């Protein structure tokens, strides 16, 4: 198509970078997309010649940033070929397609590499993050396993250990993606094989965590420390075991990884593998003589961990390898207590089959049935009763499973216990019965159940308080009415004339409060509190696929408990005892593992 004189002059002005003339022609009606016989338009010509201001002006006025010539070249291809780094910056900022291909199949990056324009290469790589956190060019080359780009970049900047905002080097990135080729180049160009980024993370930690066995082998061949520890004491073997990469575990063990390495909280690789239900990893560790009953600082075994998580296969494997089913943690919790707490029915049955004691007690006297009753796990309670558990065994406060079920409002468990012969008027400390507790807490349905099973409504505590006194004092009108249906008229009269007295403050030592039975220790099992790769680190790596619980602090074993508050009046309970049923805490195992529980 023949161009008019004005169109030809317009394109000549664009090539010359004459903004005034270009604007004059545009005002005169020339189409901004006008092109010559080869498809070159004003934007292409200005980009080729490096006229930055004109390129910006044309884009502001609506020039199509990705318009192509007849050969499929965009302004980004053309400026990359010409080495116009500043123009390239503008184009990519305005959304030019970095990955567009010409008819010959060349991308702007390929053209810049071919021409040796390293500044353009850097710009293109740094913007090739698909909207994620921008990384230095060498990091992007490492992510793409682009040895040509990496080699070109290293020609002008010999620092192979340039760091990202988070402190990671290109070798960390290559390790993350398993890009052995670029990793080899980086190592050959002087990259530190054990460069420690934030929190002491080395490339070997990253490769192990990702299960990149070939990469791990390369790093070890180049002298990487196999026993390197992060800030929280994690070795590469911990990372591989937790992620379930059995080939990486096997490689590290064969290369001499420390089998008994501990995190700062005493977790071994075996604990990590058990938490993740990684049977093959557990097998490898045990075959290399990992102690099956190895304990953390708080005496948690791998069996405790597997029971908590409900991992039947790992539990069975550990038991088959003679793990102690009655191992006691520092607070006395056994794997069976934990399985009952977490309602792990199959694991609970397996533990009992392998000899776990259903009468084992914690430091505060809790048996498995106490725990299951409080949590409301009816199936667990039934199984324990069927296996001979006594419903009337008491803890150090004298409370039976019925007391605890009443306190937690577990109606069906209360019904089950009563049908199975639990003592309805069992006396706890200060002679409190389940009815006292249910009355104070306003558990109307439980009060009714207890009364139907002949609970004594006039049973008095050591201080003379009956369930009726207590419900009135607490303003539990519905409960009070239930009591009135089950007490003599004389008692009703006493109640009517004694409201003021009944509502007066009573010492917590006199009447068991809602607070008096709390969790025996917070029950979270955080592998370690420190960070491995945070979410923003992963975005920086260009990978958002990893689960957040792994990235945000290595909280491998986290879990929670529910329950009541603490009773400050109970001087016999340590903070560990108090936390067992607190909704404000997260559980025994995490508390112990994070070192927050104080034992007195």
The DSSP call for residue 3 is P
Domain termination site, one of 79, 109, 128: 128
- Give the integer Cα–Cα distance in Å for 98 and 414: 68
Domain membership of residue 205 (yes or no) is no
Per the structure, the count of domains in the chain is 2
Domain membership of residue 96 (yes or no) is yes
**pLDDT tens-place values along the chain, 600 residues long:** 446 778 899 999 999 999 999 999 999 889 999 999 899 999 999 999 999 999 999 999 999 999 999 999 999 999 989 989 999 999 999 999 988 888 877 888 878 877 878 788 878 877 764 434 467 888 988 998 999 889 988 887 779 999 988 889 999 999 999 999 999 999 999 999 999 998 899 999 999 999 999 999 999 999 999 999 999 999 999 999 999 999 999 999 999 999 999 999 899 999 999 999 999 999 999 999 999 999 999 999 999 999 999 999 999 999 999 999 999 998 899 999 999 999 999 999 999 999 999 999 999 999 999 999 999 999 999 999 999 999 999 999 999 999 999 999 999 999 999 999 999 999 999 999 999 999 888 898 999 999 999 999 889 998 888 887 777 665 545 544 544 444 333 222 222 222 222 222 223 222 222 232 233 333 333 333 333 334 443 344 333 332 333 222 223 222 222 223 333 333 322 333 333 333 322 332 333 233 332 222
Q: What is the pLDDT of residue 479?
A: 47
Task: Look at the block and give the residue holding tokens 């292409």.
Answer: 44
Domain termination site, one of 81, 98, 128: 128
Domain membership of residue 555 (yes or no) is yes
Nearest CA-CA partner of 107 in 541, 92, 93: 92
Residue 414 near residue 433 (C-beta atoms within 8 A): no
> Mutual orientation of helices 246-254 and 279-287 as an angle, nearest 10°?
10
> Mutual orientation of helices 42-49 and 5-16 as an angle, nearest 10°?
20
Q: Which long-range contacts (CB under 8 A, 24 or more apart) does 108-114 make?
A: 108/74, 108/76, 108/77, 108/79, 108/80, 109/80, 109/149, 111/77, 111/80, 111/81, 112/80, 112/81, 112/83, 113/148, 113/149, 113/152
Domain membership of residue 153 (yes or no) is no
Q: What is the pLDDT of residue 112?
A: 83
Q: What is the pLDDT of residue 240?
A: 97
Residue 200 near residue 228 (C-beta atoms within 8 A): yes
The DSSP result for 12-63, as a single string, is HHHHHT-HHHHHHHHHTT--TT-B-TT--BHHHHHHHHT-HHHHHHHHHTT-
Q: What is the pLDDT of residue 52?
A: 94
Backbone φ and ψ for 395, nearest 5 degrees, come out as: -90, -170
Q: What is the pLDDT of residue 280?
A: 98
The radius of gyration computed from the CA coordinates of the chain, to the nearest angstrom, equals 36
Residue 476: its H or E element = none
- Give the integer Cα–Cα distance in Å for 219 and 194: 9
Domain of 100? 1-128
Residue 275 near residue 305 (C-beta atoms within 8 A): yes
Domain membership of residue 80 (yes or no) is yes
Domain membership of residue 598 (yes or no) is no
The DSSP call for residue 299 is -
SS3 for 539?
A: helix
Q: What is the pLDDT of residue 591?
A: 30
- Give the integer Cα–Cα distance in Å for 147 and 150: 5
Task: Identify the burial level of 125 via C-beta atoms within 10 angstroms of its C-beta, where 0-12 means exposed, 13-18 middle and 19 or more buried.
Answer: buried
Backbone φ and ψ for 41, nearest 5 degrees, come out as: -110, -175
Domain membership of residue 32 (yes or no) is yes
Task: Look at the block and give the residue holding tokens 């740094």.
Answer: 126
Backbone φ and ψ for 68, nearest 5 degrees, come out as: -120, 155
Q: Find the DSSP H helices in 410-524.
A: 411-419, 434-441, 444-452, 467-473, 477-484, 489-497, 499-503
Per-residue burial over 45-83, b = 16 or more CB atoms within 10 Å of its CB, e = otherwise: bbbbbbbbebbbbbbeeebebebbbeeebbbbbbbbbbb
Q: What is the pLDDT of residue 473?
A: 66
Domain membership of residue 540 (yes or no) is yes
Domain of residue 9, CATH code: 1.25.40.20
Domain termination site, one of 108, 128, 148: 128
């Amino acid at each position: 198509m023949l161009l008019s004189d004005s169109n030809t002059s317009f394109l000549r002005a664009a090539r010359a970078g004459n903004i005034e003339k270009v604007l004059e022609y545009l005002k005169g009606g020339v189409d901004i997309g006008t092109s010559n016989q080869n498809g070159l338009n004003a934007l292409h010509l200005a980009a080729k010649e490096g006229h930055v201001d004109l390129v910006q002006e044309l884009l502001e006025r609506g020039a199509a940033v990705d318009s192509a010539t007849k050969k499929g070249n965009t302004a980004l291809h053309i400026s990359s070929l010409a080495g116009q780094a500043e123009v390239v910056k503008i184009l990519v900022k305005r959304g030019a397609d970095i990955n567009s291909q010409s008819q010959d199949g060349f991308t702007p990056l390929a053209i810049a590499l071919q021409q040796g324009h390293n500044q353009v290469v850097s710009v293109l790589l740094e913007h090739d993050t698909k909207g994620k956190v921008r990384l230095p060019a060498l990091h992007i080359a490492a992510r793409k396993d682009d040895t040509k780009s990496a080699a070109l970049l290293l020609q002008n900047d010999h620092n192979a250990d340039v760091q990202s905002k988070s402190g990671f080097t290109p070798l960390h990135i290559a390790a993350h993606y398993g890009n052995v080729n670029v990793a080899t180049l980086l190592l050959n160009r002087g990259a530190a094989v054990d460069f420690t980024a934030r929190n002491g993370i080395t490339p070997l930690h990253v490769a192990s965590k990702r299960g990149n066995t070939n990469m791990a082998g390369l790093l070890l061949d180049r002298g990487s420390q196999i026993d390197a520890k992060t800030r929280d004491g994690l070795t590469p073997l911990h990372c591989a075991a937790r992620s379930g990469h059995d080939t990486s575990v096997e490689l590290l063990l064969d290369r001499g990884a420390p089998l008994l390495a501990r995190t700062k909280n005493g977790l071994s690789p075996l604990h990590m593998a058990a938490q993740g239900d990684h049977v093959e990893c557990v097998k490898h560790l045990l075959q290399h003589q990992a102690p099956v009953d190895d304990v953390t600082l708080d005496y948690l075994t791998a069996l405790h961990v597997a029971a908590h998580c409900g991992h039947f296969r790992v539990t069975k494997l550990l038991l088959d390898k003679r793990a102690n089913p009655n191992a006691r943690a520092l607070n006395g919790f056994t794997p069976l207590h934990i399985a009952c707490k977490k309602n792990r029915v199959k694991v609970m049955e397996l533990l009992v089959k392998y000899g776990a004691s259903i009468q084992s007690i914690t430091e505060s006297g809790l048996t498995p049935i106490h725990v299951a009753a409080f949590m409301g796990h009816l199936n667990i309670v039934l199984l324990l009763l069927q296996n001979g558990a006594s419903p009337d065994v008491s803890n150090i406060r004298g409370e039976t499973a019925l007391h605890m079920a009443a306190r937690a409002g577990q109606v069906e468990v209360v019904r089950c216990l009563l049908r199975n012969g639990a003592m309805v008027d069992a006396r706890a400390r200060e002679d409190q019965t389940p009815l006292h507790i249910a009355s104070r807490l306003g558990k109307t349905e439980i009060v009714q159940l207890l009364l139907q099973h002949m609970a004594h409504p006039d049973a008095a505590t050591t201080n003379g308080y009956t369930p009726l006194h207590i419900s009135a004092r607490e303003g539990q009108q519905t409960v009070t009415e239930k009591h009135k249906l089950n007490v003599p008229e004389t008692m009703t009269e006493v109640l009517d004339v004694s409201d003021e007295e009944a509502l007066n403050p009573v010492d917590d030592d006199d009447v068991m409060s809602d607070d008096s039975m709390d969790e025996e220790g917070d029950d979270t099992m955080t592998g370690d509190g420190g960070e491995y790769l945070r979410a923003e680190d992963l975005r920086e790596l260009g990978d958002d696929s990893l689960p957040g619980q792994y990235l945000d602090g290595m909280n491998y074993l986290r879990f929670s408990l529910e329950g009541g508050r603490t009773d400050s009046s109970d001087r016999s309970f340590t903070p560990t005892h108090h936390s067992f049923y607190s909704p404000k805490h997260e559980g025994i195992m995490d508390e112990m593992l994070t070192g927050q529980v104080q034992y007195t």
